[in-house]
Structure formats: C-alpha cells, structure tokens
Amino acid sequence: MNIILLGAPGAGKGTQATRIEENYGLTHISTGDIFRRHMRRQTEIGEEARSYIKKGLLVPDEVTLKIVKSALDEVHGKNFMLDGFPRNLNQAQQLDGIAKIDKVIDIRVDFDILTDRICGRRSCLDCGYTTHISVLGGANTCPKCGCEMTQRVDDREETVRSRLQVYATQTASLVEYYEKQGKLFTVDGMGTPDEVFAEIKKVLG
Ligand SMILES: [Zn+2]
C-alpha cells in the first residue's frame, strides 16, 4: 500500500508520519527533507532547486518531480508514504504516471487553531528547545537553559495566515482529484496525537 499524507503546516503531519512509518513499515518520503539533503550535498538537482529558492521563486514542478522520481527509485518497490508532495493538481497527475497511490490521508485542523498553534511557538536561540507560549506561563526564558525564548519570523500571524491560505488554495484541486478517485480519507486532526493516530489506523486497517 502506497499512501500520501496531506495536512496544512502545523497540523501534526510529522508526528503522524513517524507513527505510520513505525507501525506500517512504509518508507517515509519527505520531499522537504530530500530537497535539503540534495542542497547540502550540492547535487545537480539540489543546485537547480537552490537557484529558484535563492531568487525567492517556487521550485518548478518538473524539478520537484525529478526529486520525487529519484526518491521512488531508491525505495526499490517497497511501500511508501509521500509527505510534502504532491502540492498541486499538476504534480498529482504527473505522479500517477510514475507510481500507484492507494490512499490519501488528509489531516484537517481548523485554520484558527493552526494559527494559534504556530504563532504561539517559542524557541530558545541557545539550545533549540521549542514549546508553546501557554506552557511558559508568562515567562520568556527557556525552561532548559534560562536563555531568552523567541518567535521565529516565519511564525508571525500575518505570515502564518498567508502560508495557510496558499496551502488551502493549492490543495483544493488536489483534494478534489483524489476524492473523485475514491482515495481520499479525511482525518480530524484536532485531537491528541494518539487520537489522531487511532483515526488513521481505521483508514489504513
Ligand atoms: Zn534553552
């Protein structure tokens, strides 16, 4: 069984991906991780991707597809879980030409709650400890090392709202595409990680 994991930023996709990988033995293919690895190693594809990112442009679908294709070649026919791809309808259609997808799991969380989750994130610049502002109880110091906790520029409300809007716009046609094929399974992402995973298990069997 090959699956795709969908979910807006902050919806807890990473946590669930780890659990699915452990419980179902699916190879986790995270396009974000693969891009970063290629860029670190300065491979041809990595450099190509970097040239767009440097200019503040989106990496074109054909470059992303190349990355995904190479990752799929590496799994040698083992079952996999795609995370971060496809992002739009064109990518989904292209993907159908190179792999067979059985199920698409869409983890849904209300956007206001996601905004609160992401905007409330605070990280320690010194040790990297990250938590939600509600846990800090009004203090602005790291519970691990005592240094100052700060909010990432990317996590400011305006940025988060526009990021979520872009995600919603891009994935709407994608969701519809898989819905028509009878492959889409929507999972309520509002619960605890255990509750969300219980829902996913019902889908995956
Ligand atoms: Zn710290």
Which pLDDT belongs to residue 198? 97
Report the percentage of the chain scoring pLDDT > 70.
100
Q: Has residue 125 got a pLDDT over 90?
A: no
User: For 49-58, what is the mean pLDDT?
Assistant: 86
> What spacing in Å lies between the alpha carbon of 9 and ligand 1's midpoint?
24
Which pLDDT belongs to residue 32? 85
User: For 93-114, what is the mean pLDDT?
Assistant: 94
Which pLDDT belongs to residue 68? 92
Task: Set out the domains of the chain in order of their start, with CATH numbers.
Answer: 3-110+156-204 (3.40.50.300)
> What spacing in Å lies between the alpha carbon of 176 and ligand 1's midpoint?
43
Strands, E assignment, the chain: 3-7, 27-30, 80-83, 103-108, 121-124, 130-132, 149-150, 184-188
Tell me which of 76 and 192 has the higher pLDDT: 192
Determine the Cα–Cα distance for residues 170 and 148; give it in Å rounded to an integer.
Answer: 36
Q: Has residue 57 got a pLDDT over 90?
A: no
Placement of tokens 């996709």 in the chain = 13
Annotated active-site residue 50? The verdict is no
Pairing of strands 121-124, 149-150: antiparallel
> What spacing in Å lies between the alpha carbon of 141 and ligand 1's midpoint?
8
Catalytic hit among 144, 152, 156, 201: 152
Q: pTM score > 0.75 for this model?
A: yes
84: Cβ contacts below 8 Å, ≥ 6 apart: 30, 31, 32
134: Cβ contacts below 8 Å, ≥ 6 apart: 120
> What spacing in Å lies between the alpha carbon of 131 and ligand 1's midpoint?
11
Q: Has residue 93 got a pLDDT over 90?
A: yes
> What spacing in Å lies between the alpha carbon of 196 and ligand 1's midpoint?
30
Question: Taking all residues of the chain, what is their mean pLDDT, rounded to a whole number?
Answer: 92
139 band by pLDDT with thresholds 50, 70 and 90: confident
> What spacing in Å lies between the alpha carbon of 149 and ligand 1's midpoint?
7
Q: What is the pLDDT of residues 165-205, one digit of tens each?
A: 989 998 999 999 999 999 999 999 999 999 999 999 999 99
Annotated active-site residue 19? The verdict is no
Annotated active-site residue 87? The verdict is yes
Annotated active-site residue 13? The verdict is yes
Annotated active-site residue 161? The verdict is no
